[in-house]
Amino acid sequence: MGQAIGGQVISSVMYIGQPLIFAVGSEILPRKLRPVAQAGINAAGAAGAIVGILAGGALTSASLYGWRNYWYMVTTLLGVSAIIIGILYNPPPRPLQRSLTVREKLARLDWIGSILLTIGLVLFTIGLSWGDNPYPWSDAHVLAPLIVGFCFFIGLIVHQTYFKRDGLIHHDLFKKDRNFAVALGCFFADGMIFWAANNYFAFQVSTLYETDSMLVGLHFCIAFFTAFAASASVALISTFTKAIREPIVASFIMFTIFYGRFGPRHTRYTLTDTSSYGHHRLFKLCSCLGLSCFPRYRVRLEFDLPGDGSAA
């Protein structure tokens, strides 16, 4: 268990770098090409997810210890990716990168805001995780981290509002109009949507439909097969029509249909009941179409940023 926790800590650090991939596409391309670039990155991610899920399913189905080989494969891919990016991606430094010393760069970081956010998130999520698992919601093990974590969130709001106007929540990002705040709210909802499906959908399939990990992964891959193809379509629509709001609305409609139908529908089914298979795949396509519209939020944010769009 200690090794698993340590691995999760390391992988969490890796997740920090994932959003930078989308920043690269915006850094090297003009704004008019960013919808296509973001869709291309989204499609590449979908292709990688398909390969990863199917490879993991095949390895774990073939052997009880196949998960070890899967992690070795992932380790190799991540190492090669790090080497390629380190050698081949060399963007020219920005003016402040050249003029500021390392000490001055560190001094510009919002250390207090980062500490408040980190402690608040850790405590609040611990409280949510322990609620009814294994402690009741009224137990001190649940209430204490929830309340203390919430207090740290309040402290973060006060700090960012009155004491640090150019920190984690830069005030200039919200001065133009309300679109940036709305887009951030959409990102927050998308995060809950994606990770809910990522954590629970495969478990639901393995409980109700399949016991073979390969087939369970194949069910989940429906999302990424559809997202791979639909990303190109949405990019073309956005490029030629200059429409961003409509794909975003369509994304949330698709997600609403998927979760609205999946929540109450399958609690009564068992492994021997295959009558819901058609509905299962049909409504999974709704979540896939929602994923294909996901890059539009990033494009919307970039259009609303001041200057060259890289301030955030």
Statement to judge: residues 180 and 154 lie in one domain: no
Paired strand residues for 131: 135
Identify residue 138 by its one-letter amino acid code. S
Whether 84 is in a domain gets the answer no
Whether 202 and 275 share a structural domain = yes
Round the average pLDDT of the chain to a whole number and report it. 78
- Report the amino acid identity of residue 45: G
Determine the Cα–Cα distance for residues 168 and 110; give it in Å rounded to an integer.
6
Residue 294 has pLDDT above 70, yes or no: no
Task: Please give the radius of gyration of the chain, using alpha carbons only, rounded to the nearest integer.
Answer: 22
Whether 144 and 194 map to the same domain: the answer is no
Pick from 116, 103, 96, 98: nearest CA to 167: 116
Residues 147, 37 share a domain: no
Q: Is the pLDDT of residue 311 over 60?
A: no
Q: What integer pLDDT is reported at residue 258 of this predicted model?
A: 73
Q: What percent of the chain has pLDDT over 70?
A: 83
208-238: per-residue pLDDT in tens? 777 777 888 887 787 788 777 777 777 777 7
Same-domain pairing of 189 and 50: yes
Can you give the residue range of the structural domain that contains 154? Answer: 111-163
Domain assignment present for 263: yes
Number of domains in the chain: 2
* pLDDT single digits (tens) 135-179: 999 999 999 999 999 999 999 999 999 888 888 888 888 887 777
Distances (CA, A) of 310 to 29, 39, 69, 181, 212: 12, 19, 39, 17, 45
Q: How far apart are CA 26 and CA 309, in angstroms?
A: 8
In a domain, 296, yes or no: yes
Q: What is the pLDDT of residue 216?
A: 80
Give pLDDT, residue 271.
45
- Classify residue 70: in a domain, yes or no: no
Same domain for 252 and 185: yes
155 and 181 together in one domain: no
Q: Which of 138, 163, 188 finishes a domain?
A: 163
Q: Measuring CA to CA, which residue among 58, 60, 45, 74 is closest to residue 224?
A: 45
Do 48 and 182 sit in the same domain of this protein?
yes
Are 151 and 185 within one domain?
no
User: Per the structure block, which two tokens stand in for 191?
Assistant: 């995060």
Report the alpha-carbon distance of residue 194 to residue 10 in Å, rounded: 21
Q: Is residue 6 part of a domain?
A: no
208 and 285, same domain (yes or no)? yes
Segment 107-122 shows an average pLDDT of 92
Q: Is residue 96 part of a domain?
A: no
- 142 and 246 housed in the same domain: no
Q: What is the mean pLDDT of residues 184-188?
A: 80
Residues 199 and 178 in one domain: yes
